[in-house]
Structures are given as structure tokens and as C-alpha cells.
Amino acid sequence: MPDQALPVLDVRGLKTVFRTRGGEVHAVNDVSFHLRPGELLGVVGESGSGKSVTMMSLVRLLPSPPADIRSGEVMLQGKDILKLRDEELRDVRGARVGFVFQDPMTSLNPVFTVGDQIAEPLIRHKGMTKAQAANRAVELLELVGISDARKRLSAYPHQFSGGMRQRVMIAVALACDPEVLIADEPTTALDVTIQAQILELVKDLRQKLGMAIVWITHDLGVIAGIADRVMVMYGGQVVEQAPVKELFTNPRHPYTRALLKTIPSLTGHRDARLQVIEGQPPILTAAPTACPFRPRCKHALDRCDRENPQRRALDDRPVGHGHDVACHWTPESADV
């Protein structure tokens, strides 16, 4: 474990708010996490809990207005990205932080060929010639498992299937060997065999290049297979964070526990009805003053109404390094 190495990416106290006609949306509330070289942080959480907005805020990809990054620091190799000038930021986005977006169709440009879109960052940031970039683009497409790659360079995104577009996005993000890869639901459109191939590729890149990775997914099976640590988000906050084994064997936040119970099984008993977490997600129109999970929580205490719990360490390591949880409840306080 590269536990001692300095983090490549260190995010502290990030807050992002949207200003809309209907008032403010507090999408990200005081999120902190870090990544060491070669490390893979899995991010899971409810739909709408702020996973994508957090990651897009890091490299200021959200249009402002309506998005407003209220506070926080995003240190990339010791330098705060949020304070960079626009042209420095372009370099960071294209070359140093690779981004795989959740929605491949809207992030690929429909009027450019797939080949041009992969070659563009190589020409711009790596100073390659057109021919060099095209060769590298073929290599990258082959790496992500697209057959007949050279012929497909001249295809447009709409001629690709959903999963192929997603793999093109991965190829674009990896083109410049970034220090940090942020992958937002990168394999939702991929079948399990190609997913397995992508996961192998990612393992390789971590070992060979020390690439640090944030992997957002709803697929807990994937998380179990590739993550070193897992961060669980709910209502714009980090509610739990732990090494991967610890999270699966000893989940502490009531949301995490409920989430782990909802996975349908491939081999076990087939339930007539799938488990859901009852209740509605929070609407985040103001900065939270109570625990956001409170209305759906089985273990809620009076205190949870008054005070939004801070993350606290559950072992002897500081918050963010070992197992931590943002919850007032403890299994021992069960019947308070």
C-alpha cells in the first residue's frame, strides 16, 4: 500500500451551489478526500447525491452561473487548481486530469469523427503530428477493445453503439497519460466481458504509470474488485469512507448498510421483490442543518435533527485515511 506517499490530489472542504430560478441547490457540501499515486478511490452513493457535481467542480467544468464553487481547495501536486488561470486550467483538464463523463453522447462532439476527437489532445498537449496522433488513436481504441480500429477512426459518434461511445470517452481521457483519471460511471454501457477488459487496463495503468483514479459507479461488484478505498455520498456529503474490505464487511452508516442490502444476487436466492430504501432523497435547497439521511433512517436519534454529523474516525487513523463515518448513531447506542 502506498500509504506514505504524498497525495497527487487533495480536495478539502469543497462546496458547490447552483443558483436556479427556484432558489439555491446545495449539491456539494463540504466534501474532502485525497488520492495517492496509483490509488483507486471508488465513489458510490444515491442518484443525485452530488458525485458528478463534485468531480466536475474539481476542474471547474460546470458553467458558472448557475454553478458557484463557494469554498474549498483542490490541490493537484500541491497546487490549487481552483486558483489557476484559464489557460493553465486547460492544460490540467486536457493532459493532467483525464475525465470520462457520465453521458458519452453529449460529451463527444457529433460533428467530429471519433479519430479527430482522440487525436486532438495529443496534438495540442503532446505536440504530436497528425499522423503520429492517428497512430496513437488506433492504439488507444484497441486498448479499450474496439475492433477494426483504424477503419473506425473516420466514423462519427452516432455510428457507434452506447458502449463503444463510452470506450471512446475512455480513450480520449487516457490519451495524454494523465496523473489523475476521473471516471464517472465509465462502464454502465459495457457488458461484463468488456468491462473486465477495461478494469484490467486500469489496473495496468495504475501499476505502470502510477495513475491515480476516482471511479464513480453504482456497481458495487466493480467496486469490490478494483477499489482500494470507497467513499459513500448521500445528500451532497461524504457519509462514510473506508478501505474497500472494511466497507463491505463492516459498513457503519445506516445508508451504506441499506445500500449493501439492496444488491440483487446472481447466484443466491431470487427474491420476488427487490429491496428498496424507503423514502425520498433530500432536496438540498439550503445548507443542511440536520443529517440529510435523518427522514429515512432506522436509527435516527433526536440529535440527528439538530446537528448535521461531522465525519469522525472509527479507528486510530485520521479522518480520510482509515474508516470514518458521518453519523451520530453507534451500534452500541442502539437503544438510546
Partner 1 sequence: MFDAAPAQPLVQVRDLKMYFPIYSGVLRRKTGDVKAVDGISFDIFKGETLGLVGESGCGKSTVGRALLRLYEPTAGSVSIGGTNVLSLGDEALRKTRPQMQMVFQDPQASLNPRMPVAAIIGEPLREHTDWDGQKILARVYELMDAVGLNRKFANRYPHEFSGGQRQRIGIARALALKPKFIVCDEPIAALDVSIQAQVVNLLEDLQDEFGLTYLFISHDLSMVRHIADRVAVMYLGRIAELSPRDGLYARPLHPYAEALLSAVPEPDPALARSRQRIILKGDVPSPANPPKGCNFCTRCPKVMDICRQVKPELAEVEPGRLVACHLYSEKTAAG
Ligand X SMILES: Nc1ncnc2c1ncn2[C@@H]1O[C@H](COP(=O)(O)OP(=O)(O)OP(=O)(O)O)[C@@H](O)[C@H]1O
Binding site for ligand X (CB under 6 A): 18, 20, 25, 27, 45, 47-53, 66, 102, 158-164, 189, 284
Query: Which residue among 69, 89, 189, 287 contacts partner 1 (CB under 8 A)?
Result: 189
Which parts of the chain are beta strand (E)?
A: 9-20, 23-35, 40-45, 67-76, 79-80, 97-100, 180-184, 212-216, 229-234, 237-243, 312-313, 324-325
Decide: helix, strand or coil at residue 335. Answer: coil
The closest alpha carbon to 308, from 232, 238, 231, 241, belongs to 238
Residue placing its CB nearer to Mg ion in the complex, 84 or 189? 189
Our finding on whether 52 is near Mg ion (CB under 5 A) is: yes
Of 237, 258, 261, 257, residue with least CA distance to 247: 257
Nearer to partner 1, 38 or 236 (CB): 236
Enumerate residues 78-107 that contact partner 1 by CB under 8 A. Answer: 102-106
Site string for partner 1, 224-243 (x = CB under 8 A): xx------------------
Question: What's the min distance (Å) between Cβ of 282 and ligand X?
Answer: 9
How many residues sit in the footprint of partner 1 (CB under 8 A)? 74
21 forms part of the interface with partner 1 (CB under 8 A): yes
75 binds, among Mg ion, ligand X, partner 1, none (CB under 5 to 8 A by kind): none
Under the binding rule (CB under 8 A), the answer on residue 1 touching partner 1 is: no
Backbone angles phi, psi at 86, to 5 degrees: -55, -40
Tell me which residue of 306, 159, 161, 294 sits closest to 237, measured CA to CA: 294
User: Residue 314 Cβ, how far from ligand X at the closest point, in Å?
Assistant: 24
Q: Look at residue 222 and give its three-state secondary structure.
A: helix
What three-state secondary structure class fits 315?
coil
Quick note: the x/- pattern for partner 1 over 256-275, rule CB under 8 A, is --xxx-xxxxx---xx-xxx
Piece of the chain touching partner 1 by CB under 8 A; list 76-84, 85-93, 118-126, 159-167: 159-167
For cell 480513450, the residue is 171
Written as nine digits, the cell of 278 is: 424507503
Instruction: Tell me the residue nearest to ligand X as measured from the CB.
Output: 163
Cα 207 from Cα 237, distance rounded (Å) = 31
Provide the 3-class DSSP secondary structure of residue 75: strand
Q: Is residue 221 close enough to count as binding Mg ion by CB under 5 A?
A: no
Q: Quick check: 156 binds partner 1 (CB under 8 A)?
A: no
The residue with its CB nearest to Mg ion is: 52
Task: Point out which residues bind Mg ion (CB under 5 A).
Answer: 52, 102, 161-162
